[in-house]
Amino acid sequence: MPHVYETDGPAIYRESFSIIRREAELERFSEEEEPVAVRMIHAAGLVELASHIHFRGDAVNRARQALERGAPILCDARMVSEGITRKRLPADNAIICTLHDERVPGLARDMANTRSAAAVELWRPYLDGAVVAIGNAPTALFHLLNMLEAPDCPRPAAIIGCPVGFVGAAESKEALWESAPVPCCIVRGRLGGSAVTVAAINAIADRAE
């Protein structure tokens, strides 16, 4: 006997978001933050993620305004850069991931750091007013925060900082939250990941669900 299941894509999205809004605790989010949080929860498949999502400094509006001005999106991993839906971007924004740049291995050796951190060094020409999307590597977020301690380092418009994992992920996000060099969004603890980060960027880029 054939399986019976929902085959209408838009209907699946509508019902998914309806379930999230029934089951997740979303009351503390602002009108602008709530759709972004819902998208992030949807990407994780975990309504409990709501309690881990935090926004600071009007991050959603600041990131959205930057994208509308044509700011680039700086990504720590290909899983992030490839997941962003181009047609949702308001200004044909450049999506930049420097992780596989040929200079990165040598730079990582010189820095005695990871390739992910070295790749962030190559963001300097693009950093001013950019939207940063870190969904994989805690070392990328830590190194960016170290860079931003320098007064002459260009400032991004906002950081979506949701690296995932067991070593440094929770700590890097707490460091971002505590230092707050620019408006930001984090997923506290070990949770996060590329899909969650991409969901936040896509929701910020286009309000349509």
Report the alpha-carbon distance of residue 102 to residue 17 in Å, rounded: 41
For residues 66 and 129, is the Cβ–Cβ distance under 8 A?
yes
- Rounded to the nearest 5 percent, the helix, strand and coil shares of the chain are 50, 10, 40
For residues 195 and 43, is the Cβ–Cβ distance under 8 A?
yes
For 30, 42, 170, 184, 190, the CA distances from 139, given in Å and listed in that order, are 30, 26, 11, 17, 14
Question: Nearest-CA neighbor of 49 among 198, 196, 206?
Answer: 196
Which among 3, 42, 54, 143 is annotated as catalytic? Answer: 42
42 carries an active-site annotation: yes
Catalytic residue positions, numbered = 42
